[in-house]
Amino acid sequence: MNAEAPIGIFDSGIGGLTVAHAINKVLPNEKIIYFGDTQHLPYGNKSIEKIQKYSITIIDFLLKKQCKAIIIACNSASAVAYQKIIKKVENQALIFNVIHPVINYINSQTHIQHVGVIGTNATISSDIYRTHINTLRKDITVSSLATPLLASLIEEDNKILYQKGIVESYLENHKLKNIDSLILGCTHYPLIEKQINHFYDKKVEIISAIKYIGHSVKKMLKQNNLLNQKNTKHKHYFYVSDYTENFQKKTKLFFPKSIILEQENIFS
């Protein structure tokens, strides 16, 4: 693996852009190759087998791009495809998911006693957050709620969520009663974090992978002597399986400078 090689990041859509932005902020010297599987979004309502199949195909694409590290910037894929990806990649690249950094943070915070989790059907059905949290901290109560409409609506237009009160209707669910913290178990959800904070009047701690993933990746790259030390401006490359003007527009929210966005049909 080469320190000047790129970091690969993938998600089913725009959610992973929050992760790409976080990586770029902490690691400005690194080149990013992003793949958004817009053809199959959202992953959260797909079968485990489909999510694994799509993820492995994208991993093959990113390995061909000689990525030194690959971040699974999707909670659904992190939950059900991570182990298969680890076996597939072996020593070809470092692999990161968006669940472990959140678990590590919660394990270090003694004030957290009752944590809520919102995410896609695939993520919540896997029960991965409760399993990992309670393995480390049996004193924490974990209450999970599937919020299947959110990711698709965020892809389309955040305004719909505000107008219809969909976010509030989920957060009012009895499963999330009396929580002291809330895990945003989908990388799309940081895009509506302001609305969630408003609902809780900032009295519930909002926990998101994008707050910790950058430092987690930096630490591991440093340990493996893979940090790019050259202070040169890299071009980031963004690929999608189905080009849409909406994706192009959302990309500019995180990377204002002109970017290269290409459609790459890797599933044919």
Answer left, alpha or beta for residue 212, where phi above 0 means left and psi between -120 and 50 means alpha.
alpha
Active-site residues, by number, are 74, 186
Q: What is the 3-state secondary structure (H, E, C) of the chain?
A: CCCCCCEEEEECCCCHHHHHHHHHHHCCCCCEEEEECCCCCCHHHCCHHHHHHHHHHHHHHHHHCCCCEEEECCHHHHHHCHHHHHHHHCCCCEEEECCHHHHHHHHCCCCCCEEEEEECHHHHHHCHHHHHHHHHCCCCEEEEEECCHHHHHHHHCHHHHHHHCHHHHHHCCHHHCCCCEEEEECCCHHHHHHHHHHHHCCCCEEECHHHCHHHHHHHHHHHCCCCCCCCCCCCCEEEECCCCHHHHHHHHHHCCCCCEEEECCCCC
Q: Which token pair is 20?
A: 């790409």
Give the angle 233-228-8 at the CA atoms, nearest 5°: 80
Length of the chain: 268
Closest CA to 24 of 225, 183, 234: 234
